Structure 1
Amino acid sequence: MDPPRAGSTPEFLQAVSRMKPEKLVYISCNPETLQRDLEILVKLRWKVERIQGVDLFPMTEHVETVVLLSQQKPDDTIEIDLDLDELDATSAELKATYQEIKDYVLKEFGLKVSSLYISQVKRKCGIGVGENYNLPKSENARVPQCPKEKEEAIKAALKYFAMI
């Protein structure tokens, strides 16, 4: 399409959109009306693929602008309406990983702690862990308990990561 300097009309752009061509080439001699019309086309689910200036009038200030647009398919984008105020920002899943806790305890206290110890301390603090995470395989299995020193270090890490 090559509208006059005044640009296209919203009705014409809607009609073009209803015809559902795969591609649209828009040629414009007026940057202001081009911008206005492209904003309308984007709202009508068109996507700007490429823009190229063409100097048809050497030694003047006039430049033609050629824009290639393509029809945006419904599956090209996904719109998500997310209210961040409704998210539970205190959830442990949104905080530190086991590896981050291990790294923090090693760096700050010089202690190596296992995932078993971290899950034991998390349970003691009321932080949910997977139902069967780090539980013994049998009822009679002897499970090492987290030493007090490591428990305090893990609690410090949980406080650092705002998990408790």
Structure 2
Amino acid sequence: MIPLNSIVKKAEAYKPKQRITYKLIKEYILEKYSFKVHTAYIAEVKRDLGLPMYDAPNAVETLKNPRKHPTPIQVDAIKDALSHFEVIQN
């Protein structure tokens, strides 16, 4: 029989990995670099890195106003944020 105390200790020690959202990434970039990035830029960088992507339920086939590509500075900031949250390794 497993003592109840050990189960409680294991449950307290177990912390699931934080879910990394685009909002967290945007907040990190705003704090560290003092500029904002669009979620489409984050998605583009993730796609370029080959990270798993989910299909957006509100996606459209063609955009009315196509979005520009992120600048190299924005790409570096997004990659830094992804490595900060341990989504990628440097």
Query: When the two structures are superposed, what TM-score results if normalisation uses the length of structure 2?
Result: 0.66
Aligned to 1:153: 77
Q: CA RMSD in A?
A: 2.7
- Structure 1: which 5+ runs fail to align? 1-83
More helix by share: 2
Matched, 1:127 2:51: yes
Could you list the runs of 4 or more consecutive aligned residues of structure 1 that deviate by over 6 angstroms after TM superposition? none
Larger relative contact order (C-alpha < 8 A, sep ≥ 6)?
A: 2
Aligned to 2:36: 112
Pair 138,119 (structure 1): closer, same or farther in 2 beyond 3 Å: same
Classify the secondary structure of the residue corresponding to 1:138: coil
Larger Rg: 1
More strand by share: 1
Classify the secondary structure of the residue corresponding to 2:43: helix
Indicate the percent of aligned positions where both proteins have the same amino acid: 30
1:33-112 → structure 2 map (5 Å cutoff): 95-112=19-36
Amino acid at match of 1:106: L
Equivalent pair of 1:96/1:161 in contact (CA under 8 Å): yes
- Structure 2: which 5+ runs fail to align? 1-13
| Total equivalences in the alignment | 73
Query: When the two structures are superposed, what TM-score results if normalisation uses the length of structure 1?
Result: 0.38
